[in-house]
Amino acid sequence: MKTSDLVVKALENEGVKYIFGIPGEENLDLLNSLKDSSIKLILTRHEQGAGFMAATYGRLTGSPGVCMSTLGPGATNLVTPAAYAQLGGMPMIMITGQKPITMSKQGLFQIVDVVEMMHPLTKSSKQVVHGHTVTSIIREAFRLAVEERPGAIHIELPEDIAGEESDAEVYEKTRYNRPVADSHNIVDAVHRIEKAKHPLILIGAGANRRETRTAIKYLVDKTGIPFFTTQLGKGVLDERSPLCLGTAALSSNDCVHSAIDSSDLIINIGHDIVEKPPFFMSKDGFDVIAVNYFAATVDEVYFPQVELIGDISSSISELSQHIDKPKHWDFSFVLDIKRRMDKSIEFFSHDNSFPVLPPRLVSIVRSAMPYNGMISLDNGLYKIWFARNYRAYKSNTILLDNALATMGAGLPAAMASKIIYPERKVMAICGDGGFMMNSQELETAVRLKLDLIVLILTDNAYGMIKWKQKDMGFEDFGLDFKNPDFIKYAESYGAAGYRVSNTDELEPLINKCFEIPGIHVIDVPIDYSRDHELLNQCMI
Ligand SMILES: Cc1ncc(C[n+]2csc(CCOP(=O)(O)OP(=O)(O)O)c2C)c(N)n1
Ligand SMILES: [Mg+2]
């Protein structure tokens, strides 16, 4: 069999449904092999779009998303998605082409060392040097991509190898069980939790990768310990819970930090240090019990005293089983803080000034989205507001990137979400800066006949950096730009375009757009002028 046919057969065997990408002439054998396969090629307008979509596929399904590009310039365009998947713990496999390796035809034209380039951004980066090894390389790629901690894998398939004959066989997928935590450490953890006076639970990214809700919900219900989340841990438990303290959207001085600072022990479920720290540990501060699939990386602000390493659900079930709720636990202070935080979120959720204030925007979006509706955020100042104020009801219903925190991924991630969950309502929320970084994927979305809303928050600036600039005492300089007419821009792609001219219009418009098939781009002028004051003010 031709090696490229074998590659496709091995991918089908792994259950791959889509390949996102842009082929070059070095991928033409592989492209041809895809022609008659069950795998659907999703052609994008930039390799970044393909990579972000593949990574999001991995994030949402737990199975690696696959993307492809040509050599040199195509592969260098995959650098940001590689970092996005790798830092974000999203299983993704990138297959890139290369000039023939057995006989050079064109000197170094378009040739850069892609395997070496991808090394620091992936769990593994390998060139296929012979058709005989291609099936084992693919099996290992899929195994390694999902193994905790999940991440990016790169395979380079040179043109001549793709075209050569091979008699290799496809390897069967194997099941594997995640190890469970050591029982001595469970006993130690239970002892410390029972001894603490004000324990709290933190839910982080790792808890959002596979089903852990049942076990964590049982622990919270049985013990009554209040919980808060990191940005990537949002939605594991329903945030309408009376015990939910919200999200640590900043590393310090965020509303929830008054609660964290009053705690003497944190049960830290699934957090690792790729996320902007939800808190800083100090030698004389609270203890941390880390519950995760893998060992914690220690640094000056994170050094857990006990670690439960192994399957998260299993560790949490063990804790629930053994903890006897002691009488001296006292949550009155943190629950009082919760009541005040809830009130302050409520305070701006009816403000009808225009351009819309960020907390008002969050409340409008929350009220327009159904229980399982998904919002996908790009990176900008509004992300902090959504992290802090948006109450997620279900896991992975708010997709944000608190690991690489790249601009440009919001729209492709929303598109991948809609492809995976066609029955759900999906909305991309982007700044005017981030949207323009991959806005060309509107064409892909229209061509794929997706139903999506794209909110563009216009402040004619890189608002997040402006906010930091002011916060750090610098003068306002160098961060303003002009925008195209987003209505005409959307229409030129075959999408519908709208601009809101008062705050009241937005929710009915969103509701209307969800009823009409196709892509709806809504330009929403946003007012960040009060963010300096509002973001630093948590409670009223
Ligand atoms: C690819 C990339 N470039 C630069 C940054 C740094 N950065 C973070 S937020 C931001 C501004 C975002 O502007 P916009 O998308 O308009 O959102 P806003 O904050 O204005 O709402 C920048 C430049 C980044 N995170 N990613
Ligand atoms: Mg902006």
Distance, CA 346 to ligand 2 centroid (Å)?
Answer: 25
**Short-list 67, 201, 177, 184, CA closest to 122:** 67
Please check the confidence at residue 91 and state whether its pLDDT lies above 60: yes
90 pocket-lining for ligand 1 (C-beta < 6 Å) = no
23 pocket-lining for ligand 1 (C-beta < 6 Å) = no
Ligand 1 atom index nearest CA of 464:
19
* % of the chain at pLDDT higher than 90: 86
3-state secondary structure of 217: helix
Q: pLDDT band for 532, please (50, 70, 90 cuts).
A: confident
**Short-list 369, 519, 397, CA closest to 450:** 519
Please give the average per-residue pLDDT across 501-510, as a whole number: 97
438 pocket-lining for ligand 1 (C-beta < 6 Å) = no
519 pocket-lining for ligand 1 (C-beta < 6 Å) = no
Distance, CA 464 to ligand 1 centroid (Å)?
Answer: 6
Look over the chain and give the mean of its residue pLDDT values, rounded to a whole number.
94
pLDDT score at 108: 79
E strand or H helix at 335, and its extent?
Answer: helix 332-348
Distance, CA 290 to ligand 1 centroid (Å)?
Answer: 32
pLDDT score at 346: 80
pLDDT digits (tens, 9 = 90+) for 181-222: 999 999 999 999 999 999 999 999 999 988 899 999 999 999
pLDDT score at 107: 75
Choice among 9-23, 95-109, 131-145, 274-288 with the minimum mean pLDDT: 95-109
Residue 228 to residue 246: CA distance in whole angstroms: 5
In the block, tokens 């390694």 appear at 144
Ligand 1 atom index nearest CA of 457:
21
pLDDT digits (tens, 9 = 90+) for 397-427: 999 999 999 999 999 999 999 999 999 999 9
Name the residue of 48, 464, 524, 529 to mutate for ligand 1: max ligand atoms within 8 A of Cβ. 464
302 pocket-lining for ligand 1 (C-beta < 6 Å) = no
101 pocket-lining for ligand 1 (C-beta < 6 Å) = no
Please check the confidence at residue 537 and state whether its pLDDT lies above 70: no
Please check the confidence at residue 540 and state whether its pLDDT lies above 60: no
Distance, CA 528 to ligand 2 centroid (Å)?
Answer: 9
* Nearest ligand by distance to the CA of 380: 1
**Short-list 402, 410, 430, 412, CA closest to 523:** 430
pLDDT score at 211: 86
pLDDT score at 538: 62
E strand or H helix at 460, and its extent?
Answer: none
pLDDT score at 277: 83
Ligand 1 atom index nearest CA of 430:
15
* Nearest ligand by distance to the CA of 431: 1
Cα dist from 523 to 313, 416, 432, 475, whole Å: 42, 22, 9, 28
pLDDT digits (tens, 9 = 90+) for 235-270: 999 999 999 999 987 777 777 888 898 999 999 999
pLDDT digits (tens, 9 = 90+) for 270-328: 998 888 888 899 988 999 999 999 999 998 889 999 999 999 999 999 999 999 999 99
Ligand 1 atom index nearest CA of 437:
1
Give Cβ neighbours of residue 221 (< 8 Å, ≥ 6 apart): none
379 pocket-lining for ligand 1 (C-beta < 6 Å) = yes
Ligand 1 atom index nearest CA of 462:
13
E strand or H helix at 229, and its extent?
Answer: strand 227-229
Give Cβ neighbours of residue 72 (< 8 Å, ≥ 6 apart): 110, 111, 112, 114
pLDDT digits (tens, 9 = 90+) for 30-47: 999 999 999 999 999 999
Q: pLDDT band for 433, please (50, 70, 90 cuts).
A: very high
Distance, CA 483 to ligand 2 centroid (Å)?
Answer: 10
pLDDT digits (tens, 9 = 90+) for 147-171: 999 999 999 999 999 999 999 999 9
Residue 59 to residue 403: CA distance in whole angstroms: 13
Q: pLDDT band for 539, please (50, 70, 90 cuts).
A: low
Distance, CA 408 to ligand 1 centroid (Å)?
Answer: 9
Please give the average per-residue pLDDT across 136-152, as a whole number: 97
Residue 368 to residue 385: CA distance in whole angstroms: 17
pTM over cut 0.85: yes
